[in-house]
Chains A and B, each alone.
Chain A
Amino acid sequence: MFEKKPKLTSTKTKKRDIPSGLWVKCDDCDEMIYNQELIANLKVCPKCDRHFPMTARERISALADMGTFQETNANMTSVDMLKFTGMAAYTERLKTYQRQTQLNDAVITGLCQIRGHPVTLGVMDFTFLGASMGSVVGEKITAVIESATERAIPSIIVAASGGARMYEGILSLMQMAKTSAALARHAKERLPYIAVLTHPTTAGVMASFASLGDVIMAEPKALIGFAGPRVIKETTQQELPDGFQTSEFMLEHGLIDIIVHRKELRDAISKTLQYFAANGGRKSKAA
């Protein structure tokens, strides 16, 4: 509608910096939304249903039964193993993001209940270094899956990621193998794993645990794929199809089981678990 952005949108700083009580403009429909209303609406635009990014904490409080979440490995932080210095040193970036996000790294993991189902839950937070997967993300995800396997309960991961964390070099790549290995064992015990893909889930995370759900759910209009659209365009010199790499595109192309509106997510997970966990956990083929 407006070619030039109205002055009001000059609050285009980081969303978390906006004090509550201000107005937020929806990028999709231009609607001005009262911030409190947006939060109350699980950060979904009341007019056009655009799903705004959610922090890991917000996600957990939206999914876990009240008061049930027990965080695991909360104090685990990254190490600058390779002494990586590019334009900015890795340790500096970590400090900056830790200060800005109040997170130790890009994932929060723990045990909780979802509508009474005991589960392990891992939630990635895109605000921390693009939720890139380094050793901490890989370790926490692996550990939380292993603890689900040990307890014979379902594992849920809400994914978002720009990919591997380059600052940790090859060790970040190895996290793909590590997390997938834990899922291999979890699957062998016939225990459910649900992957929830949120905007954006790409690259190394997509090429490991995010693609391995017994059921893969996705939020509407999330970017989902392996390579970034720009890389694909540059490599192939091809025009990209409409809606390329959206949840809807991936549903149409057979990857995603179901697109779930954020308001329905808790129900969708718990109902699915009712089917999978109806007979209570571990069952071997022979039994």
Chain B
Amino acid sequence: MRIYTLDFEKPVVELEQTLESLRKQAQEQKIDLSAQIKLIEEKLDATRKEIFTSLTPWQRVQLARHPRRPYMLDYLQRIATDFIELHGDRRFADDHAMVGGLATLGAHRVMVIGQQKGRDTKENLMRNFGCAHPEGYRKALRLMQLAEKFNLPVVSFIDTPGAYPGVGAEERHIAEAIAVNLREMMLLEIPLVAVVIGEGGSGGALGIGVCDRVLILENAYYSVISPEGCAAILWKDRAAAPQAAAALKLTAPDLQELGVVDGIIPEPLGGAQVDYDASAAALKAAIGKELDHLQTVPLAELLSARYGRFRKLGVVQNQGTRSQTRKPRARSVNS
């Protein structure tokens, strides 16, 4: 039985429960219920398809935050044949919200970094709900520079509600830690692949996200602000989060259209939490493909493409000065 159920998952869960009890009944009482079972199975399939192929942006955000959603270490367990975790920023502390280390993914030896959430309260206290402090970003940079030194590609797993807003984080300059990562990642002379596996929360996500290729899982999101935060500011009401989620264009298809992500990794119907192994297999295949390709790209080309990838993001127009006559004179719209 599922422990956590999102509102919109309920019809599916109810059908699953019905199915389960029917099967039990058939087995225990040794009666033939195959007709009923088949009926429910068909209904379950249809319901699943109906719900999960027409998810609203807000529903996707909820799936991205699903308490059973696989996290970075769940994936690593399945896709890495070897993992040596490396700790600490050599300055202040080891941030458990940011994990990193040497890993073997199929044919590739890589450095992995990424945010890690906790599964229960105790674990979440240790992982700080996946909200890294400055030392987390500095650890990530240290490991990326280590990777550069020994010519290992970096795979970055993004899954954070955001960088931690706290007194200590400010005292140790979380903004500077993120900014330095943005600058230094642009210059790293190794291939970099990022995957948004759950929440891509603003600067905290981008702080390990300046990569040659940025992929996203089908139901993950990537946003400048949480839908709740945006709703609180622009709608003056956190309850408007669903509207904000739609307005922010934070879903995988929207992000691909905007050029912010380069590819979408499919999830099992119902979300990644339904089948960890299948999700991990798809993730592994997608990362492998990107690494295979990036390792054939000459360094100079790699770096200029990385610059170009981010340089082109944004939409502006050049208009005549706001003349009183307000004659529209749009000359060019840069892509």
Using a CB–CB distance below 8 Å, which chain A residues touch chain B? 73-79, 81-82, 84-87, 98-99, 102, 104, 134-136, 138-139, 142, 164, 166-178, 180-185, 187-188, 203-204, 206-212, 225-228, 231-232, 235-236, 238, 240-241, 244-245, 250, 253-255
- B142-197 interface with A by 8 A CB criterion: 163-167, 169-176, 178-180, 182-184, 186-187
Contacts of B310 in A (CB 8 A): 174, 177-178, 181
Per the bound structure, the CA–CA distance linking A50 and B247 in Å amounts to: 40
Please tell me if the beta carbons of A82 and B170 are within 8 angstroms of each other in the complex: no
Return the 8 tightest CB-CB contacts between A and B, nearest first: A227-B165, A135-B314, A86-B234, A180-B182, A211-B179, A226-B175, A174-B313, A206-B175
Q: Is B250 an interface residue (CB 8 A)?
A: yes
Contacts of B318 in A (CB 8 A): 73, 75-77
Please tell me if the beta carbons of A169 and B176 are within 8 angstroms of each other in the complex: no
Per the bound structure, the CA–CA distance linking A208 and B184 in Å amounts to: 12
Please tell me if the beta carbons of A225 and B230 are within 8 angstroms of each other in the complex: no
Annotate B208-252 by CB proximity to A: 1 below 8 A, 0 otherwise.
011000000000001111000010011110000001100111100
Contacts of A168 in B (CB 8 A): 224, 314-315
Q: Is B104 an interface residue (CB 8 A)?
A: no
Specify which of A175, A177, A183, A232 lies most central, judged by the most chain B CB atoms within 10 Å of its CB. A177
Q: Which of A85, A98, A173 contacts B206 (CB 8 A)?
A: A173
Per the bound structure, the CA–CA distance linking A120 and B93 in Å amounts to: 39
With both beta carbons as reference points, the residue of chain B lying nearest to A230 in the complex is identified as B165
Pick 28 A–B contacts, CB within 8 A, sort by A: A78-B317, A79-B315, A79-B317, A82-B249, A104-B322, A136-B314, A136-B316, A138-B314, A166-B230, A169-B258, A170-B223, A171-B258, A171-B315, A173-B203, A175-B314, A177-B206, A181-B186, A204-B202, A207-B178, A207-B182, A208-B178, A209-B179, A210-B175, A211-B176, A212-B180, A226-B170, A226-B203, A236-B166
Please tell me if the beta carbons of A82 and B248 are within 8 angstroms of each other in the complex: yes
Please tell me if the beta carbons of A204 and B203 are within 8 angstroms of each other in the complex: yes
Please tell me if the beta carbons of A76 and B316 are within 8 angstroms of each other in the complex: yes
Per the bound structure, the CA–CA distance linking A250 and B172 in Å amounts to: 9
With both beta carbons as reference points, the residue of chain A lying nearest to B231 in the complex is identified as A86
Contacts of B230 in A (CB 8 A): 86, 166
Specify which of A174, A184, A253 lies most central, judged by the most chain B CB atoms within 10 Å of its CB. A174
Please tell me if the beta carbons of B258 and A87 are within 8 angstroms of each other in the complex: no
Contacts of B234 in A (CB 8 A): 86-87, 166-167
Please tell me if the beta carbons of B167 and A211 are within 8 angstroms of each other in the complex: no
Q: Which of A81, A85, A170 contacts B224 (CB 8 A)?
A: A170
Contacts of B179 in A (CB 8 A): 176, 180, 206-212
- B317-335 interface with A by 8 A CB criterion: 317-322, 333-334
A76 to chain B, nearest CB (A): 5
- Decide: A184 near B316, CB < 8 A? Known: A169-B250, A170-B223: no
Please tell me if the beta carbons of A227 and B170 are within 8 angstroms of each other in the complex: yes
With both beta carbons as reference points, the residue of chain B lying nearest to A135 in the complex is identified as B314
- B79-119 interface with A by 8 A CB criterion: none
Per the bound structure, the CA–CA distance linking A177 and B179 in Å amounts to: 8
Please tell me if the beta carbons of B173 and A211 are within 8 angstroms of each other in the complex: yes
Q: Please tell me the size bucket of the interface on B.
A: 35 or more
A264 to chain B, nearest CB (A): 24
- Decide: A181 near B166, CB < 8 A? Known: A78-B316, A211-B173: no
Please tell me if the beta carbons of A184 and B175 are within 8 angstroms of each other in the complex: no
Contacts of B176 in A (CB 8 A): 207, 211, 255
Please tell me if the beta carbons of B319 and A77 are within 8 angstroms of each other in the complex: yes
With both beta carbons as reference points, the residue of chain A lying nearest to B173 in the complex is identified as A255
- Decide: A185 near B206, CB < 8 A? Known: A82-B249, A180-B182, A226-B169: no
Please tell me if the beta carbons of B313 and A240 are within 8 angstroms of each other in the complex: no
Q: Which of A102, A184, A210 contacts B186 (CB 8 A)?
A: A184
With both beta carbons as reference points, the residue of chain A lying nearest to B237 in the complex is identified as A87
B231 to chain A, nearest CB (A): 8
Contacts of B167 in A (CB 8 A): 232, 236, 238, 240-241, 244
Q: Is B307 an interface residue (CB 8 A)?
A: yes
Q: Is B260 an interface residue (CB 8 A)?
A: yes
Please tell me if the beta carbons of A188 and B187 are within 8 angstroms of each other in the complex: yes
Per the bound structure, the CA–CA distance linking A206 and B184 in Å amounts to: 16
With both beta carbons as reference points, the residue of chain A lying nearest to B209 in the complex is identified as A177
Q: Is B311 an interface residue (CB 8 A)?
A: yes
B176 to chain A, nearest CB (A): 4
Please tell me if the beta carbons of B316 and A181 are within 8 angstroms of each other in the complex: no
Per the bound structure, the CA–CA distance linking A180 and B319 in Å amounts to: 26
Q: Is B63 an interface residue (CB 8 A)?
A: no
Please tell me if the beta carbons of A225 and B170 are within 8 angstroms of each other in the complex: yes
Q: Which of A102, A178, A245 contacts B314 (CB 8 A)?
A: A178
Specify which of B183, B187, B235, B260 lies most central, judged by the most chain A CB atoms within 10 Å of its CB. B183
Please tell me if the beta carbons of A232 and B206 are within 8 angstroms of each other in the complex: no
Please tell me if the beta carbons of A98 and B170 are within 8 angstroms of each other in the complex: no
Contacts of A232 in B (CB 8 A): 165-167, 170
Per the bound structure, the CA–CA distance linking A221 and B248 in Å amounts to: 34
Please tell me if the beta carbons of B182 and A177 are within 8 angstroms of each other in the complex: yes
Instruction: A169-B223, A171-B260, A226-B178 given; name 20 further pairs at CB < 8 Å.
Output: A135-B316, A142-B311, A166-B248, A170-B258, A171-B315, A173-B224, A174-B260, A176-B178, A177-B206, A178-B313, A181-B183, A183-B183, A185-B186, A203-B175, A206-B179, A207-B182, A210-B175, A236-B165, A244-B167, A250-B173
Q: Is B44 an interface residue (CB 8 A)?
A: no
Q: Is B255 an interface residue (CB 8 A)?
A: yes
Please tell me if the beta carbons of A176 and B182 are within 8 angstroms of each other in the complex: yes
Contacts of A135 in B (CB 8 A): 314-316
With both beta carbons as reference points, the residue of chain A lying nearest to B333 in the complex is identified as A79
Contacts of B207 in A (CB 8 A): 207
